Structure 1
Amino acid sequence: MQHSRIRRGALAAIAGVSIAALALAGCASERGDGGGDADATDAAVDGTFIFAASADPANLDPAFAQDGETFRVSRQIFEGLVGTEPGTADPAPLLAESWDSAEDGMSHTFTLKEGVTFHDGTDFTAEAVCYNFDRWYNWTGLAASEALSYYYGKLFRGYVETPDAAVYKSCTPDGDYSVTIELNQPFAGFIPALSLPAFAMQSPTALAEFDADGIGGSEEAPTLSEYGSGHPTGTGPYKFDEWAPGEQLKLSAYEDYWGDAGQIDEIIFRVIDDPTARRQALESGSIDGYDLVGPADTGALEEAGFTMVSRPPFTILYLAFNQAVPALQDIRVREALSYAVDKDALISQVLPEGTEKATQFMPDVVNGWNPDVTTYEYDPEKAKSLLAEAGYDESNPLTLEFNYPVDVSRPYMPDPEQIFTVLSSQLAEAGVVTNPVTDAWSPDYLDKITGTPNHGIHLLGWTGDYNDTDNFVGVFFGQPSAEWGFDNPELFAALSEARGVPNLEEQTALYEDINQMVAEFIPGVPLAHPAPTLAFAKRVESYPASPVNDEVFTDIVLTE
């Protein structure tokens, strides 16, 4: 969730303007600053905060997760070495007070915060840091699969059984509160990547006691470990109490937290998968807030006096083409599908106000965005012509499975069924027959799409985790993936080279070329950059909106 390199200032400015315009900036103190002047008013404030989640977390162990609902919960329980500056995607100290990186980027020494404990009383030390890094690296089998250790595999590339591919080399304690991480290969985004919830520090004691890596099942349907289903143990301001899947999850304030406790001493995440039901729950006063407000609800809630918060668009919604499907291996088919999509109509019909049209698989505030990239403007007749060249016509139409999730809203995909309806209608105008295939979001849809080849064209997207180009195109296209189903060594090599280049100008040029390569290869259609909106009860004076969703509830300011 970090450095935007050349465009970092632009992103920070956008975030600041958006939040300030909603009277939300400046109220929340930086995490752990010891604020403390809220004591006089806290006694009059109801410290229970009920937030409506659109789905259950997939896993209480963030190292085995990739979804926003899991990470929203895990950010309250866990902390990483690196955090983000409030309201931006830029890296900031968290459990590491500072760090020094070698000029070649191959080693990084962290000075750790002292006096921090995990929720089970275990001390946070350099040994605990190395335990976590070594845990990730030593995963094998199902634990090392794309369906589970998604982020580690995408960013650190290899495990103990594939050391030649691995970015990570070793972790060495330098006393109790200093630790050095050595890398096998350069990774320019290493520091900002550590702000990801997947790389949060977890208690070595609890990980061992509750068999955190005891994952069962299969890639398509993994089962949680005892730790991941009921014993998450971090250093964050809130500790885990209980979880009733499909209903709610409870957290309470950790009494020995090292930082500012804030006003909220109990959090209840209540699962309400329907956007209309979430709105009604807010209106009735049974919840304090929710994310992913439906575009049609925003104006009415604002008019009624609810506190509305918009995040800057740091998302990408895309229609992906799985090239494990033979028809999608034909570049003419992928090009035809691109011309068949009317992005402007999609945005105006079903996406929230403030959504920006996408030309590539990352927002324009990210380094390497290419203003001259090849685009495929809506042209259904051209789509028909290309399909005819590929051998498809009215008597032999192109027929594809179209996968999308149900009973969920995501920041980049507020209403999947509405999006599917619009896109399938547009494709039909070009002569494409789509057969809908639906699955519940977590774990079924994500596991199927990212962990198996058993899907067709499909809806998915991304909320940027930190401001680095590799976090977008590198994660999507940096290596073979079950989601996209293609092997493109030239593209993989270009992305591998770019992620290790320390010179900013050189790296920018490389990523601009890569975005053009992606546009010509057409792995899918980048559709839009939606601007997610949250709604809160009137008692919520301020909410720490973050473009990368780094939102910890100790920073919420309540008035009653």
Structure 2
Amino acid sequence: MTDNNGVSRRRFLRATGGAAAAAALAGCMGGDDGDGNGSGNGDQEPQKGGTYRKINSTITTFDPVAAGDTASGQVVQQLFDPLMNYPNGETEVESLLAAEVAENDDASQYTFTIKDAQFHNGDPVRAQDFVYSFERLAASPHSERAYFLLDSLGVTHETDGDGNYKPGTLGVEAEDEKTFVVNLERPFHASLQMLAYSSFAAVPEGIVGGIDEETNGDGDPSQQYKQFAQQEPIGSGPFVFDGWEKGTAADASRFEDYHGEAAYVDKVHWQVIEDDQAIYNYAMGKNVDTFPIPTPKYQQSKIKDDEKDEQGRTVGKYGPLENGEEVNYLKVPEVSTYYFAFNTAKVPKPVRQAVAYVTDQEQLANEVYKGRVEPGYHLTPPLVFPGEGEGYDSHIEEAYPYGKESQVDEAKRVMEEAGYGENNRISVTFTHYVSDTWKQIAQILQQQLRGAYIDLKIEQAEFATLLERGEKGNLQAYTLGWIADWPAPDNFLQLINPSNTYTGQTGVLTYTNWGREQETEASKAAAEAWKTISGNLEPTDEAQEKRNAAYKKMEEANWEDVVLVNTFHGATERFSYDYLHAPKFGAMGPSRQKYNRFWIEQDAQPDSTDAPPSGNNSSQ
């Protein structure tokens, strides 16, 4: 997305100690008939009223085409609706604003019948609004997901001599007010899944004027655009925007005329806190209803009465907390991944290999994260890796070159072969976001790398600041994560398509500059594999087989050049007070969950605290 400072963002994840836990999961997440909070009160009649209060990271925009980070995205999810939806963050899509969906014989054209629905300003949702919204996604100077529409989904369009999209040529049309047609250049195996992403949400036609009216003469956001993106976002979701104090909080209220089931709660309040300790203190004061627990405060022995449900999610109780409460516990494996990354233009390959050799994913998962995460060796999570978990494990056994234990001697060897030694050491800056757990991981790496002639300088940066530095090419080594936009390997492996890694360019997904200054055999292999993936996107078994082989080649190319060191695959644990009744979420994560089915026992929720907690360091 782009905010007032021109900071571009993606669907990156910041992994705090309380945000991550993982386990292998076979199959897709299904529905949830009960309230899903583990309280045993699923037979209670839902009550209306109250405010659902939760914690968020730094929010930067409410424009669906500009929101690419999970913090902004979870608010956008409540304000705007697309054609399709991942219900409660499950991996199977269903219709949302689409009343009906039809496709032609080869799945290159989709025709959507639009529901009877209205925007928050009272205007009806029409096919023309989707034409306008898709054009903004393709051409807006603030769009962060144009490649989703033009490249991944492959909607027909024209380009100029430089390969740039020509505005007004998008292959979408409104046959009438209720019929919206999307034409694809070729069939895509995840078309409906892609259309569930919030960047494809409907906004009222003309809400920010024409594309050329979104910026002023200096290229800065126009006043009309800022009004929409930061002050008065208008969508058709279950909640209406109330207000926002940047770096502090955001609020929304129930949309009484929602086309689906109107929300039970009156309001939603997001308190912005980045610091793990401040998050925990705020939760212990009962200022929020759901919350994470940072790993330093987490004790596995406090999980009680836990059992796996039919979709593989762990449900139980946790406690007592420091405030004496026992709370509901939910752990859901996600289609997500976390990694160390390197700007290859600034960190030589032997140094990157040395980091891979000393990284002990099992140690980080079991000792630092106390068993809350699953060790990760691929960029692709086990749930969507070809062959699922079995294929994931067998590929590691066959091809992973760095072992499953820390190998300082091997790190030292590869550095000495490159000419490094005690009299020729190298200093590398490792930047992580605000997290005590990631700080501990960085310190482990720092200690181990000393013996391999690498002096690791550790820096901490707030999430938004880290992304800004990365886009400008001002990082050497850093930590990030990615949660699926659609549940398939290509959604993850696009991060290491070399042309998607060039800092300073529009659409950069990682800040690694892989092969930019000088192509390597591995970068060429990755680019060629991505070409194979892009050329075989049809929803057929033959195309799937070709993609599967190319997916593995990309993973192996990354192993060779060590652009990313994959560390673990995450999940989310939700801790919630007993008065809150919330459906369980699925493997696409809680940021894809709408809150209209959340409800609160009115005589049990404590009063909110309006003042921000001490230790909140999220202001930009």
Length-normalised TM-score, structure 1: 0.83
Partner amino acid, structure 1, of 2:426: L
Matched, 1:11 2:40: no
CA contact (8 A) 2:408 2:452 kept: yes
Aligned to 2:380: 362
Deviation at 1:395, TM superposition (A): 1.1
- Counterpart selection for 1:441 from 463, 477, 487: 463
Aligned pairs for 1:457-468 (under 5 A) are 457-468=477-488
Q: What is the identity, as a one-letter code, of the residue corresponding to 1:382? A: E
Asked if 1:424 corresponds to 2:442, the answer is no
**Partner AA of 1:426 in structure 2:** Q
Task: Report whether the alignment pairs 1:302 with 2:319.
Answer: yes
Q: Which residue of 1 aligns with 2:90?
A: 88
Q: Per-residue CA shift, 1:413-469, capped at 9, x if unaligned?
A: x84323322333333343311223333212x221222x2222101111112222111
Query: In the alignment, which residue of structure 1 is the partner of 2:563?
Result: 523
State the 1:556 CA deviation.
1.7
What's the CA shift for 1:551? Answer: 1.3
| Greater helix content | 1
1:321 paired with 2:337, answer no
- Structure 2 CA distance for partners of 1:244 and 1:173, relative to 1, 3 Å: same
Q: Deviation of residue 218 (structure 1)?
A: 9.0
Residue 228 of structure 1 corresponds to which residue in structure 2?
229
| SS at 2:265 equivalent | coil
Q: Which residue of 2 aligns with 1:394?
A: 422
Deviation at 1:208, TM superposition (A): 2.7
2:473 aligned partner: 453
The 1:183–1:279 alpha-carbon spacing in structure 2 relative to 1, beyond 3 Å, is: same
Cα drift, residue 397 of structure 1: 1.2
Partner of 2:557, secondary structure, is: helix
The SS at the match of 1:555 is coil
Superposition pairs of residues 336-355 of structure 1, within 5 angstroms: 336-351=354-369, 353-355=371-373
> In structure 2, do the counterparts of structure 1 residues 486 and 195 end up closer, same or farther at CA, with 3 Å as the change threshold?
same
CA distance 1:379–1:165, shift in 2 (3 Å):
farther
* The 10-residue stretch of structure 1 (75-84 or 364-373) with the greater mean CA deviation from structure 2: 364-373
Q: Choose 353-362 or 365-374, whichever is displaced more.
A: 365-374
**Would the alpha carbon gap of residues 521 and 295 (structure 1) be closer, same or farther in structure 2, given more than 3 Å must change?**
same
Instruction: Give the counterpart letter for 1:62 in structure 2.
Output: P
- Is 1:543–1:557's contact at 8 Å kept on the other side of the alignment? no
Rounded Cα–Cα distance in structure 1 between residues aligned with 2:54 and 2:212: 30
- Quick check: 455-464 or 85-94, which moved more? 85-94
How far 1:252 moved relative to its partner? 0.5
* AA at the equivalent of 1:178: T
Residue 28 of structure 2 corresponds to residue 23 of structure 1? no
Shift of 1:388: 0.9
Which stretch of structure 1 is more off in the superposition, 70-79 or 287-296?
A: 287-296
Could you tell me which residue of structure 1 aligns to residue 493 of structure 2?
Answer: 473
Cα deviation digits, residues 201-220 of structure 1 (max 9, x gap): 2222433399983389999x
Instruction: List per-residue Cα deviations over 1:379-434 (Å, max 9, x = no partner).
Output: 1101110011112111111221212223xx6xxxx843233223333333433112
Q: For the Cα contact (< 8 Å) 2:193–2:486, is it kept in 1?
A: yes
Instruction: Tell me which moved more, 165-174 or 241-250.
Output: 165-174
Q: How much has 1:152 moved relative to structure 2? A: 5.8
Equivalent pair of 2:26/2:383 in contact (CA under 8 Å): yes
Kept in 1: contact 2:89–2:593 (CA 8 A): no
- Structure 2 CA distance for partners of 1:277 and 1:543, relative to 1, 3 Å: farther
Distance 1:479 1:288 in 2: 43
Q: TM-score, normalised by structure 2?
A: 0.75
Amino acid at match of 1:420: A
Aligned counterpart, 2:581? 541
The corresponding residue for 1:503 is 540
Deviation at 1:70? 0.7
Query: 1:47 pairs with 44, 50, 74, which one?
Result: 50
CA separation of 1:466 and 1:319: change in aligned 2, threshold 3 A = same
Q: Deviations over 1:468-525 (max 9, x none)?
A: 1111112442633221211334423422432424323423333233333333332110
Partner of 1:312: 333
Residues 73-92 of structure 1 deviation map (CA, whole Å, 9 limit, x = unaligned): 11111111111144521221
- 1:156 to partner: Cα distance: 5.9
Q: Per the alignment, do residues 211 and 547 of structure 1 end up closer, same or farther by CA in structure 2, a change over 3 Å counting?
A: farther
Structure 1 residues 161 and 47, CA gap change in structure 2 (3 angstroms): farther
Aligned match of 1:112: 114
Q: What's the offset of the Cα at 1:257?
A: 0.8
Output the amino acid matched with 1:47. Answer: G
Q: Give CA-to-partner distance per residue, 1:208-258, whole Å, 9 cap, x none.
A: 399983389999xxx983322112111100010110112211100112111
C-alpha distance 211-247 of structure 1, shift in aligned 2 (>3 A): farther
1: CA distance, partners of 2:441 / 2:99: 44
Aligned partner of 2:461: which letter? Answer: D
Where does structure 1 lack aligned partners over 5 or more consecutive residues?
Answer: 2-7, 28-36
Maintained 8 Å contact 2:526/2:553: no
Equivalent position SS for 2:171: strand
Moved more, 280-289 or 253-262: 280-289
Aligned partners of 2:427 and 2:456 also within 8 Å: yes
Report how many residues are paired. Answer: 520
Q: Distance in 1 between matches of 2:299 and 2:288?
A: 17
- In structure 2, the CA distance between the partners of 1:359 and 1:214, relative to structure 1 (3 Å rule), is same
Q: State how 1:102-181 maps to structure 2 within 5 Å.
A: 102-113=104-115, 115-140=116-141, 143=142, 155=152, 161=160, 164=163, 169-181=170-182
Is the 2:35–2:584 Cα contact (8 Å) retained in structure 1?
no
Partner of residue 5, structure 1: none
| 3-state SS of paired residue (1:472) | helix
- Taking the aligned partners of 2:269 and 2:488, their CA distance within structure 1 comes to 33
